Amino acid sequence: MKIKLIFAIIILSMILAGCVGPTEPVSTPVPTPTPAVTVEPTPVVTIVPTPTPVAQLFPITYKIWVDSYLGFNKIRAANGSTYINLPSEFNKSDFKINIGDKVVWINDNDPSSDYPLTIVSNDGLWDNKTGYLRYSYSEFEYTFNKTGTYTVSIKELARKQQKITVNS
Q: Say if 112 falls within a structural domain.
A: yes
Look at residue 125 and tell me if it is in a domain. Answer: yes
Ramachandran area for residue 71 (φ above 0: left; ψ -120 to 50: alpha; else beta): left
How many domains, in total, are found in the chain?
A: 1
Pair 66, 108: CB distance under 8 Å: yes
Q: Across the 168 residues of the chain, what is the mean pLDDT of every consecutive 10-residue run? A: 78 70 68 77 79 71 92 91 89 93 94 88 90 92 96 90 94
Domain-embedded: residue 119: yes
Length of the chain: 168
Examine residue 86 and state whether it is found in any structural domain, yes or no. yes
In this prediction, residue 162 carries a pLDDT of 95
Position 55 scores a pLDDT of: 58
Rg, Å, the chain Cα set? 47
Spacing of C-alpha 9 from chain mean position: 91
Residue 118: is it exposed, middle or buried by C-beta count within 10 angstroms (0-12/13-18/19+)? Answer: buried
CB 141 within 8 A of CB 104: yes
Angstrom distance (rounded) from CA 30 to CA 126: 100
Residue 103's SS3 state is strand
- Report the C-alpha gap between 121 and 163 in whole angstroms: 10
**Residue (of 126, 119, 129, 132) closest to 160 by Cα position:** 119
Position 38 scores a pLDDT of: 78
**For position 23, what pLDDT does the model report?**
62
The torsion angles phi and psi of 101, rounded to 5 degrees, stand at -75, 150
Which residue range is the domain that position 101 belongs to?
Answer: 61-167
State residue 15's pLDDT score.
Answer: 75
Whether residue 2 lies inside any domain: the answer is: no
Q: How far apart are CA 150 and CA 163, in angstroms?
A: 6
C-alpha span between 50 and 54 (Å, rounded): 12
Say what the pTM is.
0.65
The span from the CA of 32 to the CA of 51, in Å, is: 54
Which domain CATH number covers 82? 2.60.40.420
Q: Is residue 43 part of a domain?
A: no
| Within a domain: 21 | no
